[in-house]
Amino acid sequence: MVMAPSAIAIDHQETTVLNDNKVDYLDNNHGVESDVTGFASKALIKKVLHEHIARVNVDTCEPGEEDAFYVADLGEVYRQHLRWKINLARVKPFYAVKCNPDTEVLRLLAKLGTGFDCASRAEIDMVLGLGVAPSRIIYAQPCKTKSYLRHARKVGVTLMTFDNSDELRKIKDCYPEAELVLRILTDDSTSLCRLSAKYGASLHDAKDLLRLAKDLELNIVGVSFHVGSGASDPNSFGKAVMDARFVFDQAAELGYDLKLLDVGGGFVDETFEMFAGNLHEALEEHFPSHVRVIGEPGRYYTSNAFTLATNVIARREVAGDNEGENAYMLYLNDGVYGNFSNIIFDHQHPIPQILSAAAAADEMVEYSIWGPTCDGIDVITDQIYLPGVINIGDWLFFENMGAYTKCSATKFNGYNDDHEVVYISSEPGASALLGY
């Protein structure tokens, strides 16, 4: 469902829900770095969440009307794009579709002119279906399905990664004119989501692979890496860039003139400026300006843009941690088999906040928060203190739910894996591009 943004204009009174005395009114400041815009976005999201839940009465509604739902602020995606441009002007983003293949997100990014990192036939077709030229796609899956390779050739997606000799022979067989990017290993020992056990050629193997590619008369155009997601070492990009430089030089010895460096994904909102600064310096130092640089950010673009609202469907009173005090187990209508799949697959810890509670109060109460399926693994929060006693029918919401959530949800136990998204835009630029 696309909601007309004109119907949800921000009025000044509404912003008092933020309880933040730094913001006592909102002006029309749409600057990228403006806190005011961020606050306006939060106020707008809250307003839309409340409008939606006001239409649901759990005592009379049809099954599913109380389902969890998202509010997606595409203005946030737009702001992240500008922030990328400011910090990494040299690096063209190829959005990693797997992280959130939402059609409105893809449509906005297509209009903003990004490229796309696709890893399967369906992702390639989804992006091409938006009218994006095949030259704006990198097939960034080092171990590809043969029939998908033939499909990529048919639709004209030429740029792709590889990291082993069997893949080179496969490509020779199915798509000899493809433009190949050698994915190398990185030291991802400080990352939350590590990838190097599965993908990437070691620097030691790189030379043999380049030699084999030469023998097979394949077209190597560049080098890629992925430092893993949630890296804690700010120099992880710097080290990977130096390794890529080493492979560029090895390739030159074999007569290849590489022209593309792909710095992968793993950029995180909170630490973006620090990691981008480190990457920018390393690029300036090791790669002359004629080398084209692309990146594959996923979560960076979408995690903040999606807020999830869930309904409390059941409750159990138990003994609390503090002697003499009760605690509650709350059961929500969404869990780790649904949109909270990011807890299992992406090592995230979503934070519950109260959206609406009939018995609002100040004193803190202890809770554990569970999903709806019959599996004991389906727990969202082991322990948290929230103000007041939350009842069945109340709503909780979770911010930063835009990456590796909906796309990896299942239908386990008969629950929905396709929750409604209410789209809004807190940025006139994004609204204009999307026609909102």
Ligand X SMILES: *Cc1c(COP(=O)(O)O)cnc(C)c1O
Q: Determine the residue with CB nearest ligand X.
A: 298
Residue choice 114, 186, 196, 229 for contact with ligand X (CB under 6 A): 229
Structure tokens at 6: 């004109």
Dist. CA 160–CA 176, nearest whole Å: 12
Segment near ligand X (CB under 6 A); pick from 9-17, 53-61, 262-270, 376-384: 262-270
- The string over 386-417, giving b where at least 16 C-beta atoms fall within 10 Å of a residue's C-beta and e elsewhere, is bebbbeebbbbbbbbbbbbbbbbbeebeebee
Answer yes or no whether residue 117 interacts with ligand X by CB under 6 A.
Answer: yes
Could you tell me the smallest distance in angstroms from the CB atom of residue 80 to ligand X?
12
Answer yes or no whether residue 101 interacts with ligand X by CB under 6 A.
Answer: no
Residue choice 99, 221, 227, 251 for contact with ligand X (CB under 6 A): 99
x-marked contacts with ligand X along 209-228 as a string, rule CB under 6 A: -----------------x--
Dist. CA 111–CA 435, nearest whole Å: 11
Of the two residues 310 and 342, which places its CB atom closer to ligand X in the complex? Answer: 342
Could you tell me the smallest distance in angstroms from the CB atom of residue 427 to ligand X?
22
Of the two residues 105 and 140, which places its CB atom closer to ligand X in the complex? Answer: 140
Of the two residues 96 and 180, which places its CB atom closer to ligand X in the complex? Answer: 96
Answer yes or no whether residue 106 interacts with ligand X by CB under 6 A.
Answer: no
Of the two residues 296 and 334, which places its CB atom closer to ligand X in the complex? Answer: 296
Segment near ligand X (CB under 6 A); pick from 96-104, 215-223, 275-283, 285-293: 96-104
Of the two residues 15 and 236, which places its CB atom closer to ligand X in the complex? Answer: 236
Answer yes or no whether residue 264 interacts with ligand X by CB under 6 A.
Answer: yes
Segment near ligand X (CB under 6 A); pick from 92-100, 128-136, 253-261, 369-377: 92-100
Known catalytic membership, residue 374: yes
Answer yes or no whether residue 266 interacts with ligand X by CB under 6 A.
Answer: yes
Count of CB atoms situated within 10 Å of the CB of 46: 18
Could you tell me the smallest distance in angstroms from the CB atom of residue 267 to ligand X?
6
Residue 1: closest CA among 104, 134, 131? 104
- Per the residue annotation, which of 99, 118, 143, 374 is the catalytic one? 374
306-319 and 395-398 beta bridge pairing: antiparallel
Could you tell me the smallest distance in angstroms from the CB atom of residue 306 to ligand X?
14
x-marked contacts with ligand X along 279-318 as a string, rule CB under 6 A: -----------------xxxxx------------------
x-marked contacts with ligand X along 357-396 as a string, rule CB under 6 A: ----------------------------------------
Could you tell me the smallest distance in angstroms from the CB atom of residue 275 to ligand X?
11
Of the two residues 148 and 370, which places its CB atom closer to ligand X in the complex? Answer: 148
Of the two residues 5 and 297, which places its CB atom closer to ligand X in the complex? Answer: 297
Of the two residues 123 and 394, which places its CB atom closer to ligand X in the complex? Answer: 123
Dist. CA 235–CA 142, nearest whole Å: 25
Could you tell me the smallest distance in angstroms from the CB atom of residue 132 to ligand X?
17
Structure tokens at 369: 């928060």
Residue choice 68, 112, 140, 283 for contact with ligand X (CB under 6 A): 140
Segment near ligand X (CB under 6 A); pick from 71-79, 264-272, 285-293, 314-322: 264-272
Which residues are designated catalytic? 374
Residues near ligand X (CB under 6 A) = 96, 98-99, 117, 140, 226, 229, 264-267, 296-300, 403
